[in-house]
């Protein structure tokens, strides 16, 4: 698709203004709003012995999947709309989680196993003081800034040199996977001050509130739901604007975009950095709900799973990655209990099936079915 083709119908759309919610997305967002609004009530207001009671386990599980959905949505911006497949987004997710984890570890105070102001793993390793990169970890405000700043700066620097060198296609995917693998090996080392292979865990409180109470879990759940809705609305606004149309033109014919006078570098760099920051926010929300962060979140398999969620749901749709994250992780939660040894084979088979027979994912399959039913009614 050329720049001309991608913008030929833009005049009428611009006159109307971009729609933040596509008509076919209304049902999904109604369901998400119902879940976000009803789930806390079922947990806090309904007695535990009632059949309608939603346990803390389900609140945590749904909150975790919503964090994954944010990651899938972030990858859709860079892969589905810009044509750049990243296999390293798990790194940004983990970095956001580690920044939040450092704050939560400081909140433990002297309630740890050794009764020291230092985290337990530092006492065990006979450290006498906090390393320099823990200097601001006591401040929640500084933590919020660093959740955005650290992954965002890393993504900007990496993206600037990669995009400036015109690295594309499978080569870009390989170096992003190499980046996250190198970071994983670094974080496994005890001397880096990130807890080694155990990472951070045994959190006690957040902002002074006990982190394991139902009220805190529900608050984190609601905050995650709002973050998912906010990320979707931001992504929808971007992709329906002129900026988004240029991204799609870069995806389809980058050479023609350059011929028309556009420099792809700032567009690719901006959406790449934003995508990384969205993953970091998801990671920061994930850690207090799950209660642990370790280097395994940076493993290449974790980043590949994000791509699987996006592909299964349907890339280039915004709604699809969210559907894919819920579908795949819901199946994972069930299958790893029923037949844990089968899960990885099922995941691989699912990805192959989607690649061969459902290139537009579940959303594309639904649209074809709706179109077919609409044709029947018309006849």
Instruction: Write out the chain's pLDDT in tens, 379 residues.
Output: 444 444 444 443 444 445 555 555 556 666 666 666 677 777 777 777 777 778 888 899 999 999 999 999 999 999 999 999 999 999 999 999 999 999 999 999 888 888 888 999 999 999 999 999 999 999 999 999 999 999 999 999 999 999 999 999 999 999 999 999 999 999 999 999 999 999 999 999 999 899 999 899 999 999 999 999 999 999 999 999 999 999 999 999 999 999 999 999 999 999 999 999 999 999 999 999 999 999 999 999 999 999 999 999 999 999 999 999 999 999 999 888 888 888 888 888 888 888 888 888 888 887 777 665 555 454 4
pLDDT number for residue 311:
93
Residue 27 tokens read as 């049902």
Name the DSSP letter for residue 25. G
Q: Indicate whether 309 belongs to any domain.
A: no
Tokens of 176: 């992003």
C-alpha to C-alpha distances, 116 to 122, 278, 371, nearest whole angstrom:
10, 34, 64
Whether residue 21 is contained in a domain is answered as no
Domain assignment of residue 74, yes or no = yes
Has residue 126 been placed in a domain?
A: yes
- Do the bridges between strand 292-293 and strand 200-201 make them parallel or antiparallel, or are there none, so unpaired? antiparallel
Other CB atoms within a 10 A radius of the CB of residue 88 amount to 28
Residue 227: which residues within 8 A CB-CB, separation 6 or more?
Answer: 66, 70, 281, 282, 285
In a domain, 337, yes or no: no
Q: How far apart are the first and last CA of the chain?
A: 33
108 membership: H or E segment, kind and range: helix 89-108
The boundaries of the domain holding residue 276 are: 54-298
Beta bridge partners of 108: none
- C-alpha distance from residue 30 to each of 23, 27, 87, 218 (Å): 12, 5, 31, 19
Structure tokens that stand for 182 in this block:
């190198």
Place of tokens 């570098």: 265
316 found inside a domain: no
3-state SS class at 201:
strand
Task: Please give the model's pTM, rounded to 2 decimal places.
Answer: 0.88
Give me the pLDDT at residue 28, please.
61
Residue 209's DSSP bridge partners are: 206
Instruction: Report the greatest alpha carbon distance in the chain.
Output: 79
Q: Which of 375, 378, 363, 62 is nearest to 225 (CA)?
A: 62
Domain count, the chain: 1
The alpha-carbon radius of gyration of the chain (Å, integer) is 22
């Amino acid at each position: 698709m050329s720049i001309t083709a991608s913008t030929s119908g833009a005049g009428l759309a611009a006159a109307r203004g971009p729609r933040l919610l596509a008509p076919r997305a209304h049902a999904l967002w109604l369901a998400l709003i119902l879940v976000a609004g009803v789930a806390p009530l079922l947990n806090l207001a309904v007695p535990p012995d009632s059949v309608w009671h939603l346990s803390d386990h389900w609140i945590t599980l749904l909150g975790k999947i919503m964090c994954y959905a944010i990651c899938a949505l972030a990858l859709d911006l860079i892969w589905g709309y810009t044509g750049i497949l990243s296999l390293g987004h798990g790194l940004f997710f983990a970095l956001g989680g580690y920044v939040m984890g450092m704050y939560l570890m400081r909140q433990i105070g002297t309630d740890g196993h050794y009764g020291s102001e230092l985290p337990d793993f530092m006492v065990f390793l006979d450290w006498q003081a906090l390393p320099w990169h823990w200097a601001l970890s006591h401040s929640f405000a500084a933590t919020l800034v660093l959740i955005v700043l650290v992954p965002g700066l890393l993504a900007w620097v990496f993206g600037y040199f990669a995009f400036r060198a015109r690295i594309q296609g499978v080569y870009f995917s390989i170096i992003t996977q190499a980046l996250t693998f190198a970071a994983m090996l670094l974080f496994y080392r005890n001397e880096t001050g990130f807890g080694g292979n155990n990472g951070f865990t045994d959190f006690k409180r957040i902002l002074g509130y006990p982190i394991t109470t139902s009220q805190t879990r529900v608050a984190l759940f609601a905050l995650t739901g709002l973050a998912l809705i906010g990320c979707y609305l931001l992504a929808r606004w971007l992709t329906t604007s002129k900026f988004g149309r240029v991204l799609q033109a870069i995806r389809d014919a980058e050479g023609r975009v350059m011929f028309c006078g556009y420099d792809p570098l700032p567009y690719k760099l901006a959406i790449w950095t934003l995508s990384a920051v969205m993953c970091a926010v998801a990671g920061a929300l994930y850690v207090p709900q799950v209660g642990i962060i370790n280097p395994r979140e940076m493993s290449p398999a974790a980043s590949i799973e994000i791509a699987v969620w996006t592909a299964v749901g349907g890339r280039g749709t915004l709604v699809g990655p969210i559907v894919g994250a819920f579908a795949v992780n819901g199946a994972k939660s069930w299958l790893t209990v029923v037949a844990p040894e089968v899960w990885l084979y099922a995941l691989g088979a699912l990805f192959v099936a989607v690649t061969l027979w459902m290139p537009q994912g579940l959303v594309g399959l639904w649209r074809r079915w709706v179109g077919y039913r609409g044709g029947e009614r018309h006849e």
